[in-house]
Amino acid sequence: MQFPQGVWACLTATLFVAPVCAQQLSVGPDPTLPESISLEQSLDQPSLDDVEDEDLLDMDLEQLTRADVMVAGEMDTEVSIATRTAQPISQTAAAVFVITNEMITRSGARNIPEALRLAPGVHVARSNSHTWAISIRGFSTQYANKLLVQIDGRAIYTPIFGGTFWDQQLVPMHDIERIEVIRGPGSSVWGANATNGVINIVTKHSRDTRGGYAEAGGGNEHRHFGHLRWGGGDSELTYRVYAMESEDDFGYRADQPPSDGRDGATVGFRADWKPTCQDEFTFTGNLLKGNSNFGAPYVGIESENILARWNHQVDQDTDWQIQLYYDQFDREDDFPPFYVNSQSAHRAFDLDTLFHTRWRQRHDIVCGFGFRDYHTGITGTGLGDFLAPQRDQFDIISYFLQDTYTVAEDYLYLTLGSKMEHTDFVGFTYQPTVKLALTPDERTSLWASAARAVRTPSQSDRDLNYYLPQPSPPDVLGVGSRSVMAESAMVYELGIRRQESDSFYWDLTAYYSDYDDVISFVPQSQTPSLITVQYDNAYSGAVYGAELLAMLEVNECWRLRGFYTWMQTTGDLGPTGIDSFGVPLDMFVHNTASITSSHDLTSKLKFDGTLRYVDSVRGGVSHYIVADVRLAYRPCKHWEYSVVGQNLFDDKHLESTQDLYESTEVQTGVFGMVSCEF
C-alpha cells in the first residue's frame, strides 16, 4: 500500500498540527458529553463511581445507562448492543464501538451513512447521492445483506433483498444519542442477518429534548437542510415533535449529466411516560416522503412507522420489556432495463419481548421471544415480473436464551447462549455463541468468542424472475430458487482493550469468518440467444483480518482518535463468486485508515478534522485520501455557527460502482449551518 508522496506531510500540517495551547484555555463544555447536557448539568450528573453500590442496584436500566456519560473506548462505558443488557465495555466479549452525539456533531455528518464513517471496520461507500454500499467485514455492495440495522429497536432492513434502503433513513442527526456498532456476529441475541455486524441507532430520551431547537444550512453538495423540534412535559410525561427536510446535489459523471440528486422531508414524535418508578412507556412515530433521482430513472419513496415499548422493573435484579412496532414503505421506480413504472411495498408487524434477571449473584440471564409478520411485493410492467409471485407473506418466530456467568468476580466472565428461529423460507435455524472476557486489572480486558451466524434467503433469492437484454446476444434470464438454504458462518474473534493511562486507550481485534452455502448466481443453461442463471448455495470461503483503534487526549483542548483495519479473503470469495444480484463476492476493502483531531481553540471556537484513506475495490474504484473539517463558533449558550468541508483534497473520486441506477463520483462539498436552542 503506497500513498502519494507529500500527502501525509501536507495534510498533517493542515489538519493535525494545531498550535499547542501556550496557556490553559477556558474551554467550553466537555466534548465527550452529549450535546443536550451542559457543563453545569454534567457537574451535577452522578457517575458510576459516585453512586453507592446499594443505590446502583436500585437504578433501572435507563438510569444505569445514563449514570455515566457515554465515551467510546473507555473501559467503564456502558453498552447494551452485545447482550441486550447494560454492561461495561471491559466485560463485553465483542468488537463494540459507540459513536456519541458529540462525535456526530463535531464531524459535520448530515446523514447516518456519513456518521458511520466514524466507526472502525464499517466500510461506507457512496454509489451516488442517494445510494450507499455499507457493510462490515466485506461484501460491500448496495444490496449488502449480512448486516442488521435498527433504529430504537426497530429493524429497518427489507426481506425483499435482505438489506437496507439508506435513502429512506432520514433521521435528525441532532436527536441521535448514540450509534452502537458491533463488528462481527450479533446473531445469538439479534437473530438471522446479523452475520457480519449490528448497527443500533438510539435517539435521545424526550426528557433530554425539552425546549426548542432549530437548524438550517446549505452548500454546494448538501444544497439545503433544516430541522425544527419542540419538546416539553414534566417529571412523569415528556414528549417531542419534529420536522426536517433536506436536498442533496447530483454526483459527477464525465460522460453525461447525472440525475441522482435526492430530496426528502420527515415528521415525527417521541413520548416517554413514567407513571410509576417501576414502569416506563415509550411511543415513537415517523412519516417520510422523498424522491431519489431528479430525472429518469425516478424513485419516489413514502414510509411510515410507529412503535410502542413498555419497560417494567420488577426489583433490583429483574426487569422485562415488551415492544410492538409497525413499519411500511412504498417505492415507485421508473427504472429500465429491469422494470418500468414498478411499485415495491413492504409491511412489517413485529412483537419482541425481553426478560432479564440476575440469579444467585453470578448468573446474568436474558431471554426473549419474537414474532414478525411480513407482507412484501413488487408490481408493475416491464421486462419480466422481477418477482414471481409478485406478492408474498411470511412469518418469523424466534426465541433466545443467554447467560453471562461470573466465574471470578471482577476477573473472568463466561457467556453462553443461542437464538433459534423458525422461518417460512428455510424452517428452523440455530445460532449459538460462546464468549469469554478476562479483566486481569482495571485497565486491561482480554476477550474471545466463537459464534455461528446465518443469513436466511431473501424474497429475491427465492422468487426473482427478470429478463435482461444485452447490447449483443445472448440475453440473460435470472431466476430464483425455492430450494436455496440459509447461508452460515463460523466466526472466531480475539480482542484486547487497554487503558494505558487516563488519556490513552487502544483496542485491537482479530477475526476469522468461515462462510458456507453462500447464495449466488450459477449458470443453468446457454443458447446462442439466452443465458439462464439461477440462485444456488454455490460458494464458500473465509474472511480474516484485524482492526485497531486508538484514542489519545493530548491535553484538555486537544484530542485524537484513529483506526486502521486490514482484511483478506480465501476460497471462492474471490474473482469467481457472484452474489444474489450478480455482484462479485470479492467486494472487499483490504485496508482503511482514519485519524480525527478535535481542538477546542477557545471556549467558543472549535475545530475538527478527519483524514480518511480507503483502499481500492474491484470494479474500477481506486484508493483515495480525503479530509473532512469543521469549524464551529458558539458566541453564547443558545447559538452556534459552523462551516463544514467534506471530501477535501480530492475534487472528485469514485467510491462504489455497484449500483443498479447509476454510479457517480463524490465531489468536494462545503456547507454552512446555524443552530439555535430556545
CATH of the domain at 181: 2.40.170.20
Please tell me the distance from the alpha carbon of residue 674 to that of residue 17, in angstroms, as a whole number. 27
Burial 638-663 (b: 16+ CB within 10 A, else e): eebebbbbbbbbeeebbbbbbbbbbb
Is 384 or 43 the better-scoring residue by pLDDT? 384
Domain assignment present for residue 396? The answer is yes
pLDDT in tens, 321-350: 999 999 998 887 765 444 455 667 789 999
Average pLDDT over residues 82-101: 86
Is 538 or 12 the better-scoring residue by pLDDT? 538
Is 640 or 161 the better-scoring residue by pLDDT? 640
pLDDT tier, 465 (very low <50, low <70, confident <90, very high otherwise): confident
For the whole model, what pTM was predicted? 0.85
Whether the Cβ atoms of residue 270 and residue 262 lie closer than 8 Å to each other:
no
The alpha carbon of 330 is separated from its chain's Cα centroid by a whole number of angstroms, namely 22
pLDDT tier, 643 (very low <50, low <70, confident <90, very high otherwise): very high
pLDDT tier, 117 (very low <50, low <70, confident <90, very high otherwise): very high
With CA atoms as reference, report the closest residue to 154 among 393, 323, 402, 329: 323
End-to-end CA separation in angstroms for the chain = 50
Give the number of residues written for the chain: 678
Q: What is the pLDDT of residue 11?
A: 38
> H/E element holding 42?
helix 39-44
Q: What is the pLDDT of residue 450?
A: 97
Average pLDDT over residues 642-658: 90
pLDDT surpassing 80 at residue 587: no
pLDDT tier, 408 (very low <50, low <70, confident <90, very high otherwise): very high
The letter for the amino acid at 552 is L
Domain assignment present for residue 150? The answer is yes
Q: What is the pLDDT of residue 138?
A: 84
Q: What is the pLDDT of residue 383?
A: 52
pLDDT surpassing 50 at residue 529: yes
With CA atoms as reference, report the closest residue to 344 among 336, 334, 354: 334
Number of structural domains (the chain) is 1
Q: What are phi and psi of 168, to 5 degrees?
A: -95, 0
Average pLDDT over residues 274-289: 96
Q: What is the pLDDT of residue 182?
A: 92
Region of poorest pLDDT, from 53-62, 244-253, 448-457, 462-471: 53-62
Instruction: Specify which of 371-385, 524-538, 583-597 reaches the highest per-range mean pLDDT.
Output: 524-538
Q: What is the pLDDT of residue 536?
A: 87
Is 555 or 9 the better-scoring residue by pLDDT? 555
Please tell me the distance from the alpha carbon of residue 625 to that of residue 643, in angstroms, as a whole number. 21
pLDDT surpassing 70 at residue 65: no
pLDDT tier, 171 (very low <50, low <70, confident <90, very high otherwise): very high
Neighbour count for residue 392 (Cβ, 10 Å) = 18
Is 32 or 318 the better-scoring residue by pLDDT? 318
Whether the Cβ atoms of residue 338 and residue 320 lie closer than 8 Å to each other:
no
Q: What percent of the chain has pLDDT over 90?
A: 55
pLDDT in tens, 120-145: 999 999 988 888 889 999 888 787 88
Region of poorest pLDDT, from 52-61, 515-524, 542-551: 52-61
Is 340 or 513 the better-scoring residue by pLDDT? 513
Average pLDDT over residues 645-649: 95
Is 466 or 275 the better-scoring residue by pLDDT? 275
Domain assignment present for residue 427? The answer is yes
pLDDT in tens, 411-430: 999 999 999 999 988 999 99
Domain assignment present for residue 216? The answer is no
Q: What mean pLDDT, rounded, does the chain reach?
A: 83
Residue 260 grid coordinates? 441522482
Q: What is the pLDDT of residue 116?
A: 96
Q: What percent of the chain has pLDDT over 70?
A: 83
Q: What is the pLDDT of residue 14?
A: 39
* Boundaries of domain holding 636: 7-205+226-257+265-677
Domain assignment present for residue 218? The answer is no
Q: What is the pLDDT of residue 335?
A: 54
Region of poorest pLDDT, from 272-286, 290-304, 334-348, 643-657: 334-348
For residues 191, 194, 198 and 204, what is the CA-based torsion angle, rounded to 10 degrees?
A: -40
Three-state DSSP string of 116-178: HCCCCCEEEEEEECCEEEEEECCCCCCCCCCEEEEECCEECCECCCCECCHHHCCCCHHHEEE
Q: What are the strands, taking DSSP E only, across 161-317?
A: 176-183, 197-203, 211-219, 222-233, 237-248, 262-273, 279-292, 298-313
Average pLDDT over residues 488-502: 95
Please tell me the distance from the alpha carbon of residue 198 to that of residue 164, in angstroms, as a whole number. 12
pLDDT surpassing 70 at residue 10: no
Q: What is the pLDDT of residue 334?
A: 65
